[in-house]
Amino acid sequence: MALLPRKKRRKDPLGGNSPGGAMVKFKEIGIFLVERRMGSSRRSFLTELARKKGFRVEEQMSESVTHVVSENNTGDEVLELLEKQNGICSTGFTAALVDITWFTESMGAGRPLELENCHRLQVKRISAAAVIGTPISPYACQRRTTLNNKNRLFTDALKILAENAELCESEGRYLAFTRASSILKSLPYNMTRMDDLQGIPSLGDHSRKVIKEILEDGICSEVENVIQNERYQTLKLFTSIFGVGVKTADKWYREGLRTLDELRASKIKLTKEQTAGLLYYEDLNVPVTRAEADLIGQIVEAAIHRFLPTAVITLTGGFRRGNESGHDVDFLITHPEEGKEEGLIYQVISWMATQGLILYDDITENSYQKWKNQEPEKFDHFTKCFSIFKLKREPICNLELSRPSNHDCLAVNEIGRKGLADRAGTTQHVTAAAAGDKDWKAVRVDLIIAPFGQYAYALLGWTGSRLFERDLRRYAKHFKHMNLNSHSLFDNEQNKLLAAATEEEIFAHLGLDYIPPHERNA
C-alpha cells in the first residue's frame, strides 16, 4: 500500500513554537545567549533547556531580544562584542544585560524572574552617544550625515584602505572600512582622543588602530604604504577609465601595463565603452560642476519635453544630496500616465545625437519582473542609457528645441525599433567632427526611465549614497522582514508589495524617520 504523504506542519503565525518545536509560554521574553566564554556546546545545551521550558531563545541578536545573557563577561565586554559582531549600538537597544545567574534561577523556577541588581551586568564606560545626547545607530539609514565632515583626516585614511580592499576584491574588509569611515563622518564633533570612540558602533580593531596612529603621529603608516603601492596606483588609474572594472584592471596590471600610454600602445582589444572612456579620459576625470549639471539638465529637459511635454525629470545622485561637484550626472525620468514613457529614451538620444550632443551611448531595456522582487539585487532593471555628452559652451538657446514633425517622429521610431547600438556611424561621426576644436567638454550622463508606480523607489535608490542605500536594504531585511530594491518594497509577512508615491511613504513603511537627501551623504 502506498504511503500517504506527511502533512506539513503549519507555522504558527504568532510565533507560538520555538525552532525545536516546543511551545513558547513566555512570548514577551526573548533571550540571546552570548557564546564568548560560555562555549558553543554549553550554549547549545542551555538553548535546548530553555526552549523545553517554554522560553524563546534567539540565535541572532535582534530587536526582539529582551535579555542578553552572559557568563564570566563584564557589561562593557558584552557591549563591545555586540557592536563588533552584530553592529548593535550600546544605546540603540533596550535589552537587559544579565548574568547567567538570572538564567539558571529562571530555569529552576520555570518562569522568567524579575530582574534584580545582582542579575544585571554593570557598564562603566561612557558612550559617545551619551556625550552628544542621541543614540548612534550602526545603520547609515538611521543617521543624518551632511557634507560637513568634522573628521576628514580619519575618514580619508579609512576611505583609502576601503578602496584598496575593493581593488583586492575583499568585500568584507571593504565594508568594514567603509562603515567605520561613514560613522565618523556623521559625528557632529571633532575626535581628539581615543576615548571619543567609546560607544560608537561599527569600529573594528583595525579601524581603531588606524585612528589611534593618526591621533598619535598625524599619519597612518599603513595608509602611506598603500598610497605608494604600485598595484594600488595602477588599478586606481585603470578603474578610473569609463567601462573598466577591477578584474579587467588587474588583468592589465598582471600583463605588465602601468600607464595609459602603455595601454594605448598595446594591442589589447577594448570594448566600445572602454574605447570611449580612454578617448575622453581627461575630460571624464575632471569633476562635473553644479553649474554644468544644471546646464545639462536644461538640455535633457528640453529634449525630453520635445517628445513628451508632461514628463517629469529629476536630477539625482550626489547633486541631489547637495554636492557641488561629481563624476557624472544622473537624471530620473517618468510620466504620470504609466506607459507613456516607453520608447522615449530612443527618441531622445537619437535626436540629441543629430544635434551633436552625444559622443557615446549604451541603452538597456527594462527587464524588471515582479517575481524578482523577493530578493534585493545590486542592480535595478530600468530602461536606462549610459552616455557621454558633448557639453558645448554655447548657450542652450542655439539648439533647435521645437516640437518634432511627423517626419522626425517616424525617423526616431524607426531607429528605436532597430536599436541605437546599430546606429551606424553616428558616434564615430560626432567624435571625428568634434576633434578639430575644444570648445566643449565630455561629461558622463545617465538617463533612467522609471514607470510612475515605481518612481518613488527609483528616486530613493538613485539618490544614494551607496552605503546609505545598502544599509536601508539591510535594515529592511533584518528588522522588518521586507525586501527593498529600486523598484519596490515587498513585505514577506504580509506577502505583498507596498505601494509608495513618495520617499516619505517608503520611510514610513519601514518605521524610520524620514531623512532628506542632503543628510544621506554616508
Q: Which residues are catalytic?
A: 328, 330, 446
Bridge partners for 446 per DSSP: 330, 386
> What is the residue type of 258?
R
Beta strand 329-334 pairing with 440-449 = parallel
Question: Scanning the structure block, which residue is given the C-alpha cell 530600468?
Answer: 382
Question: Scanning the structure block, which residue is given the C-alpha cell 543617521?
Answer: 143
Contact 121, 72 (CB under 8 A): no
Q: Which residues contact 361 (CB under 8 A, 6 or more apart)?
A: 349, 353, 385, 386, 387, 388, 420, 427
Q: SS3 for 490?
A: strand
Helix axes 230-239, 246-254, angle to 10 degrees: 130
The CA R_g of the chain, rounded to the nearest whole Å, is 28
Residue 461 phi, psi (nearest 5): -65, -40
Helix axes 406-418, 344-354, angle to 10 degrees: 110
- The Cα–Cα gap between 513 and 365 comes to 34
- Segments of 231-347 assigned E as strands: 288-289, 312-315, 325-326, 329-334
- The Cα–Cα gap between 425 and 476 comes to 47
